[in-house]
Structure 1
Amino acid sequence: MSKANILVVDDYPDNLRTLSFILSERGYRVRKAIHGEMALETIQVELPDLILLDIRMPQMDGYQVCTKLKAEDRTRDIPIIFLSAMNEAADKVKAFAVGGADYIAKPFQEEEVLARIQYQLTIRRQQQAINEQNRRLQQEIQERYSAQAETQLLLTVIQSVSQASDFPEALQAVLCAVRQAIGWDYGEAWSASLERDVFLLSQTCYDRSDAQLQQFHQASLDLIFPLDGGLPGQIWKSHQPHWIEDISQTSESTFLRAEIAAECGLKTAFGVPIVSENEVLTILVFFKRSQMPQDAKLLQLISAIALQLGLLMRRKQAEDALRQLNQELQRLANLDGLTQIANRRYFNQVFQVEWQRLKREQQFLSVILADVDYFKLYNDYYGHQAGDECLKQIAHALEASVRRPADLVARYGGEEFIIVLPNTIGEGAVQVAEKIQKAIANLQILHQRSNVSDRVTLSLGIASIVPSADIEPGRLIATADRALYEAKANGRNTFRVRQFQSSILTPTPDPQP
């Protein structure tokens, strides 16, 4: 990761210098371009591993640069992270529509930029490893199997595995493709349940109009093989394929379904293991009605397919790990690092979504802006560590005071918090404010330097509105802010309300500075 080659494209020199310094400090190899045409020329000289691309640039903007790169086979797979001060949903939609892999809003945070770069580079290198693995496997297949039909089968299986959304889907597709290609009558897959030390039937493939095969299938459904029993048990212990030329000549311990197989006309069987990290996860078993001696070439062919399925398991595990990493990045990007509640960025996103929704539905939206009274004096007297602990307790109390899933509590900045209350009129917001004040009082946090109480208190400003097209969303927050100042001017440890349509309380004059 530390040797990755990153191209930074931005027409603003300060941004180039800042990003170059941050990335170089982390060991990345950084190249710079001040406009789109220079970026395209630089990329042709040497392909970067990742591009940080500004959107708003003269002559050729970031969208146009991205579109050109995605149209070329040589540059199509380079991940592009857009950097832009434009933070509207439409800008992000367009960024992803032209092929962007991610979008970071300016002003950016160093930790977020580094985390998102690492995530995109991890995805790219995982994909490159998978592509190289498939290329080598296909090359090996071509060299090992000269017969066109066998080669085509293996290539088809590789494609099916690559396109499958999960392991069971891939297993079913491969089982049927192999059975039909080799011309055998019945195929099944047995999966190990290590918690119970048994094999369970997980997939089957056969002609369902065949009454005898249907009978064999029904007889197999309720079977549970011990890990050391029957044909699956032999394969599980040896990790090697096994061939039974004549099922009727085997003992019951070797093949537990010998009698029902004979009744259904099945003569020959063979099985191969699917192994991942030296553990047998699944065993493929095929049956044929005609008796056949062991076919080493066929066993080799099916073993190669089983190897590809084992590789799929590892690939799916890597993809799951990447998804978990991405979810953690999203969680960290939306949380305030100190209080572990929503941060201001996430509040802005939720507020915009709720504003648009309630504008369509013509329903009330209320916000409460809360400020810790005399918090600077608290910090000066008790110390910043105690101040941080105080903010954590307040954040927890605020979250406990709102219970509806759509309500949101966020840290607005410093000692300020904001609460979003969708579908809530002013009276409802007042009830929430009263609950908040009781919750803060119950904390009983000492504050000997407060001029209003010997315990920590909050002042709150409440604003309520039915959103409309002729009102900017920011006016609601500005109104709550004015209500907060009125609460402070009226002695603190209280709340005041302002409402656009019909005032619950008549707004008091703005406090004099």
Structure 2
Amino acid sequence: MADDVATILIVDDRVDNLLVLTSLLKSHGYEVRKARGGQIALQTVQIEPPDLILLDIRMPEVSGYEVCAQLKANPVTQDIPIIFLSALNEIDDRMAAFAAGGVDYITKPFHTAEVLARIHGQLTIQRQRQQLIEQNQRLQQEIQERQRIEQALRQANLELERLASLDSLTQISNRRRFDEYLSVEWRQAHRDQTYLSLILCDVDCFKAYNDHYGHHAGDSCLQQVAQAIHQTLQAGDLVARYGGEEFAIVLPQTDIYQAILMAKRIQARISELKIPHDCSFISPYLTVSLGIWSQIPDFICTPATAIMAADRLVQV
């Protein structure tokens, strides 16, 4: 509906009624279309829906009640306000009109002021309804956009948290994440009185490797070692780059025997890489040394002392 011009469809089989109403409505700035029967009215509405319909009841072929019922049954036309304008003045006629879907009922002979007032009222209601629909649509769009932004922010925060916990070179956990994870698992093991194990892993003769092969090769070596350890661990275990060529591994619910078995698996996996190391005095291929700590956490030992204990056991 335009802000200043509303289109009204008049449906009446009598030409004199059409002429009178057309003249009246046009003189008050409305755009008017006419239909001399119900079937023509239905076709006209389908081609271009009006803003309001003035509908006679007694018409040949299709009555006003049937026209109204068909329009209200169609989702495209169901919201067009229909005012019945009829000589029928019995209460049953009015009730039938409202039951069919009409919004108002004017009896003939009509008063021009009443017709104009009823039309103006219904068009105002329709305009307000459309404005409310548009406001709700805008609100829904704003809500969806806000939800999209909030989701993007959540994803960005998760990514920042992930990056803050990740070692950029090896793409495994960093020292910060290791400290957090060890603290959580320490408290859990102390509460449940279950074993917790730590493994500290050093790449043997890594300085000599770097000096001989170069830092690019050294970075690639650390990446391969990190991924090899990561692929060896089980669900719930965590490996982190502890510093330089040193890796730290947290093994929840793991006793000393299981930790030793895991350490052997890690050494075997590193050995399978067969990374050449001409400057090692241990092997022609890259090797690692491991130190293991395993205990049920108590009030005497702390994560720091456990790390130091595992570190002292690392032997080249």
User: Shorter chain as normaliser: what TM range?
Assistant: 0.5 to 0.7
1:359 counterpart (169, 179, 190)? 190
User: Mean alpha-carbon deviation: is it higher for 289-298 or for 450-459?
Assistant: 289-298
1:249 counterpart (57, 64, 67)? 67
Stretches of structure 2 that go unaligned for 5 or more consecutive residues are 1-45, 56-64, 81-98, 104-121
Counterpart residue type for residue 409 of structure 1:
V
Asked if 1 retains the 8 angstrom alpha-carbon contact of 2:68 and 2:101, the reply is no
Structure 2 CA distance, aligned partners of 1:249 and 1:327? 59
Residue in 2 that maps onto 1:396? 227
Asked if 1 retains the 8 angstrom alpha-carbon contact of 2:200 and 2:290, the reply is yes
Asked if 2 retains the 8 angstrom alpha-carbon contact of 1:426 and 1:464, the reply is yes
- Give the C-alpha shift of residue 290 in structure 1: 4.3
Residue in 1 that maps onto 2:201? 370
Asked if 2 retains the 8 angstrom alpha-carbon contact of 1:446 and 1:455, the reply is yes
**Quick check: 1:471 aligned with 2:301?**
yes
2:146 counterpart (300, 306, 315)? 315
SS at match of 2:102: coil
Asked if 2 retains the 8 angstrom alpha-carbon contact of 1:370 and 1:458, the reply is yes
Residue in 2 that maps onto 1:330? 161
The 3 A distance-change label for structure 1 pair 306 and 387 is same
Give the TM-score normalised by structure 2: 0.64
- Give the C-alpha shift of residue 437 in structure 1: 0.8
2:179 counterpart (337, 345, 348)? 348
Q: Which has the larger radius of gyration?
A: 2
Structure 1 CA distance, aligned partners of 2:178 and 2:127? 64
Give the TM-score normalised by structure 1: 0.40
Asked if 1 retains the 8 angstrom alpha-carbon contact of 2:69 and 2:100, the reply is no
Residue in 2 that maps onto 1:297? 128
Q: Deviations over 1:255-312 (max 9, x none)?
A: 7x54xx9xxxxx9536xxxxxxxxxxxxxxxxx9742354222212332222121122
- Give the C-alpha shift of residue 426 in structure 1: 0.4
How many residue pairs get matched?
Answer: 221
**Quick check: 1:434 aligned with 2:269?**
no
Counterpart residue type for residue 313 of structure 1:
Q
Asked if 1 retains the 8 angstrom alpha-carbon contact of 2:292 and 2:313, the reply is yes
- Give the C-alpha shift of residue 471 in structure 1: 2.0
The 3 A distance-change label for structure 1 pair 248 and 456 is farther
Asked if 1 retains the 8 angstrom alpha-carbon contact of 2:277 and 2:283, the reply is yes
Asked if 2 retains the 8 angstrom alpha-carbon contact of 1:364 and 1:423, the reply is yes
Structure 2 CA distance, aligned partners of 1:464 and 1:317? 47
Counterpart residue type for residue 305 of structure 2:
R
Q: Please show how residues 482-501 of structure 1 align to structure 2 within 5 Å.
A: 482-484=312-314, 487-488=315-316
Q: Please show how residues 43-442 of structure 1 align to structure 2 within 5 Å.
A: 249=67, 257-258=73-74, 268-269=78-79, 290-292=101-103, 293-294=122-123, 295-404=126-235, 406-442=236-272
Where relative contact order (Cα < 8 A, 6+ residues apart) is larger, the structure is 2
Asked if 2 retains the 8 angstrom alpha-carbon contact of 1:369 and 1:462, the reply is yes
- Give the C-alpha shift of residue 481 in structure 1: 0.5
The 3 A distance-change label for structure 1 pair 350 and 248 is farther
- Root-mean-square deviation (CA, aligned residues, Å) is 2.8
Structure 2 CA distance, aligned partners of 1:466 and 1:297? 72
Structure 2 CA distance, aligned partners of 1:422 and 1:251? 72
